Amino acid sequence: MVLGQELAPGGGHYQVLHPGRYVLVQRVADAWRPLPAALVGDKPAGTAPLALAPGVVAVRTAPGVRAAVVWVGPTLDAVPDIGKGYRLHVYRNFY
Protein backbone atom coordinates (compact mmCIF):
# COMPACT_ATOMS: atom_id res chain seq x y z
CA MET A 1 0.00 0.00 0.00
CA VAL A 2 1.29 3.43 -0.90
CA LEU A 3 0.16 6.35 1.20
CA GLY A 4 -0.50 9.22 -1.13
CA GLN A 5 -2.58 10.47 -4.00
CA GLU A 6 -2.21 12.36 -7.25
CA LEU A 7 -4.48 15.40 -7.17
CA ALA A 8 -6.38 17.21 -9.90
CA PRO A 9 -4.65 20.07 -11.76
CA GLY A 10 -4.52 23.13 -9.50
CA GLY A 11 -4.66 21.07 -6.30
CA GLY A 12 -7.39 19.61 -4.16
CA HIS A 13 -7.88 17.89 -0.82
CA TYR A 14 -5.95 14.93 0.53
CA GLN A 15 -7.22 12.72 3.36
CA VAL A 16 -4.23 11.88 5.59
CA LEU A 17 -4.88 8.37 6.94
CA HIS A 18 -1.52 7.80 8.61
CA PRO A 19 0.42 10.53 10.41
CA GLY A 20 3.94 10.98 9.18
CA ARG A 21 6.34 12.59 6.76
CA TYR A 22 4.98 13.48 3.32
CA VAL A 23 6.37 15.33 0.29
CA LEU A 24 4.52 17.25 -2.39
CA VAL A 25 5.78 16.41 -5.88
CA GLN A 26 4.86 16.49 -9.56
CA ARG A 27 5.80 14.11 -12.37
CA VAL A 28 8.30 15.62 -14.81
CA ALA A 29 9.57 13.33 -17.59
CA ASP A 30 9.23 10.00 -15.70
CA ALA A 31 10.60 11.43 -12.43
CA TRP A 32 9.02 12.97 -9.35
CA ARG A 33 10.19 16.53 -8.66
CA PRO A 34 9.45 18.69 -5.57
CA LEU A 35 6.83 21.43 -5.72
CA PRO A 36 8.22 23.99 -3.24
CA ALA A 37 5.87 26.80 -4.32
CA ALA A 38 2.70 24.78 -3.78
CA LEU A 39 0.64 25.51 -0.67
CA VAL A 40 -0.32 22.92 1.92
CA GLY A 41 -3.00 24.59 3.98
CA ASP A 42 -1.72 28.16 4.01
CA LYS A 43 2.01 27.34 4.12
CA PRO A 44 4.51 26.72 1.27
CA ALA A 45 5.32 23.05 0.76
CA GLY A 46 9.08 23.65 0.55
CA THR A 47 11.46 20.85 -0.36
CA ALA A 48 11.75 19.07 3.01
CA PRO A 49 9.17 16.48 4.11
CA LEU A 50 6.10 17.84 5.87
CA ALA A 51 4.75 16.34 9.08
CA LEU A 52 1.06 15.73 8.46
CA ALA A 53 -1.49 14.63 11.04
CA PRO A 54 -4.64 12.62 10.25
CA GLY A 55 -7.37 14.68 8.64
CA VAL A 56 -8.05 16.58 5.44
CA VAL A 57 -5.30 18.77 3.99
CA ALA A 58 -5.91 21.39 1.29
CA VAL A 59 -3.25 21.56 -1.43
CA ARG A 60 -3.02 24.39 -3.97
CA THR A 61 -0.73 24.49 -7.00
CA ALA A 62 -0.46 26.64 -10.11
CA PRO A 63 -3.29 26.09 -12.61
CA GLY A 64 -2.62 23.02 -14.74
CA VAL A 65 -0.04 21.52 -12.33
CA ARG A 66 -0.92 18.05 -11.01
CA ALA A 67 0.58 17.50 -7.58
CA ALA A 68 0.98 14.24 -5.73
CA VAL A 69 1.11 13.89 -1.96
CA VAL A 70 3.42 10.97 -1.10
CA TRP A 71 4.41 9.43 2.24
CA VAL A 72 8.20 9.01 2.48
CA GLY A 73 8.44 7.18 5.78
CA PRO A 74 10.67 7.90 8.75
CA THR A 75 14.02 8.17 6.96
CA LEU A 76 13.66 9.36 3.35
CA ASP A 77 13.63 13.01 2.31
CA ALA A 78 12.31 12.44 -1.22
CA VAL A 79 10.54 9.89 -3.39
CA PRO A 80 13.20 7.39 -4.54
CA ASP A 81 13.78 6.84 -8.25
CA ILE A 82 13.43 3.10 -8.76
CA GLY A 83 13.56 3.28 -12.55
CA LYS A 84 11.38 1.40 -14.97
CA GLY A 85 12.42 -1.98 -13.61
CA TYR A 86 10.77 -5.31 -14.21
CA ARG A 87 6.99 -5.10 -14.58
CA LEU A 88 6.33 -8.02 -12.21
CA HIS A 89 8.22 -6.37 -9.35
CA VAL A 90 5.27 -4.34 -8.12
CA TYR A 91 6.30 -3.72 -4.51
CA ARG A 92 9.51 -2.08 -3.39
CA ASN A 93 10.68 -1.68 0.19
CA PHE A 94 12.66 1.56 0.16
CA TYR A 95 12.25 2.71 3.74
What is the per-residue pLDDT across 58-92, written as a single tens digit (0 to 9) for each?
A: 999 999 999 999 999 899 998 877 666 665 665 65
pTM of the model: 0.82
What is the per-residue pLDDT across 16-46, written as a single tens digit (0 to 9) for each?
A: 999 999 999 998 887 788 999 999 999 999 9
Reported as type and span, the H/E element at residue 50 is strand 50-52
CA dist 95 and 77 (Å) reads: 10
In the prediction, which pLDDT does 59 show? Answer: 96
In the prediction, which pLDDT does 20 show? Answer: 94
Q: What is the β-pairing status of strands 43-44 and 39-40?
A: antiparallel
